[in-house]
Amino acid sequence: MSAMPIRRDETDRDIGVSEHPTPKRVGVPVRPSRRAGFREAECRMRGIGSRGFTLIELMIAMTIGVFLLGTLALVLSNNSRTRYEIEKSIGQIQNARYAMQMITDDLSNAGFYGEALIPAGAALPSLCPTAANLDAARSHPVQGADNIAAVPQACTAIGAVLIGNDLLAVRRTSTCAVDDPDCDAFVEGLPHLQQPACASDCLDPPNCSPWIATNRAALTARVRSCTAGAHAPIYRLYSRLYYLAPSNRPNDGIPTLKRAELTAAGYTVTPIAEGIEHLHFEYGIDNDGGGEPDEYLEEIVDPGNWQDVVAVRVHLLVRNATPTHGHLDDRTYHLGQEVVEAPGDAYKRQAYSTTVRLNNVAGRREDMR
């Protein structure tokens, strides 16, 4: 049996060949699809493949940076200004505390003369006694002048004073004897006090006043046993004056608390604290001898009342060393019975006050009751 011939079209269907194959075009460029074009445009919009910023972007970034830096600089400036004001306030407080401590320490020891007593019945001495009349001035451990208009005549060596303020004179000895541990040695030329305990050494019996001299060879008073060479204790004798000066250094315009102290060369001035603008004292008077103040006077008219002072109120008005920009001080300050008006400047001020008991005066009065 002979084989049947196979038709071409049937063979093509069997092997999956299309009846109408797509003819190939030769030499005709292929156009990109519309989807590929969109993808390329999207990539350009997203910046894919870009290298840098445009001028507008740089300007915006610089503007933002300037605002950030300006804000930071403002914060740093405010912090620096605040820190500077705090430092000035701390300086003011330190000056006030130191000034108050110096005055109160002297006042609490006023009238201490070692083994010697406070003499009574003497006339009112000078605010700045010399070494020759210092013994008579011991009768007034505390003495002052209120609202001065000029330098007291006996105190011209202290220089210029800030008028309208008070002066305070304090007399006492050192709280430890010469050559004792932690005590100053004898200084030739400075006044010292020695109280004789041996009866034969008293120069004015029965009072037996203390010896006062500026050279050690003259202070040979003995102890109670009268043993030769056994000398009674020797104390340094102080006469000090507290006051305000219009400046610390020449023409610097900074009001300063100063202390003048009697030395071999007269009164020597020592600056205590700057910025002390007003100094005022009130004196507690013991009228009945009980050792407690019965009234406080800012000015003592009767000279006899000075020996009845058993307490002192100390008032200070202190300002910063430099003014504060934008600050105006037009307040009223009450320093005890005295009222002080601020001048309306840019200085910050603070008032300080304390009360000091004169232990060596008040204590003896209590013991006598």
- The 10s digit of each residue's pLDDT in 169-214 is 999 999 999 989 889 899 999 999 999 999 999 999 888 999 999 9
Question: Cis ω on the peptide bond leading into residue 206 (within 30° of 0)?
Answer: yes
- When pLDDT is cut at 50, 70 and 90, the band that residue 15 belongs to is very low
- Average pLDDT estimate for 72-85: 78
Report the mean per-residue pLDDT for the chain: 87
Q: What are phi and psi of 240, to 5 degrees?
A: -125, 150
- Share above pLDDT 70 across residues of the chain, in percent, rounded to a whole number: 85
Burial class (CB in 10 A: 0-12, 13-18, 19+), 330: exposed
**What kind and span of H or E run contains 171?**
strand 167-173
**What kind and span of H or E run contains 102?**
helix 55-108
**Span 121-133, pLDDT tens digits:** 778 999 999 998 9
**Domain spans of the chain, in order of start:** 82-368
**What kind and span of H or E run contains 81?**
helix 55-108
Tell me what pLDDT residue 215 has. Answer: 94
pLDDT of 103 over the 60 cut:
yes
- When pLDDT is cut at 50, 70 and 90, the band that residue 233 belongs to is very high
- Average pLDDT estimate for 252-275: 95
Interatomic CA distance for residues 204 and 89, integer angstroms: 56
- When pLDDT is cut at 50, 70 and 90, the band that residue 1 belongs to is very low
**Span 276-319, pLDDT tens digits:** 999 999 999 999 999 999 999 999 999 999 999 999 999 999 99
**Span 27-49, pLDDT tens digits:** 555 555 555 555 665 555 555 55
- Average pLDDT estimate for 99-128: 93
Tell me what pLDDT residue 247 has. Answer: 95
- Average pLDDT estimate for 106-110: 97
Cβ atoms of 82 and 293 within 8 Å: the answer is no
Q: What are phi and psi of 152, to 5 degrees?
A: -55, 145
The answer for residues whose C-beta is within 8 angstroms of residue 226's C-beta and 6 or more apart is 198, 199, 200, 201
- Rounded (10°) CA dihedral 189, 195, 201, 206: 130
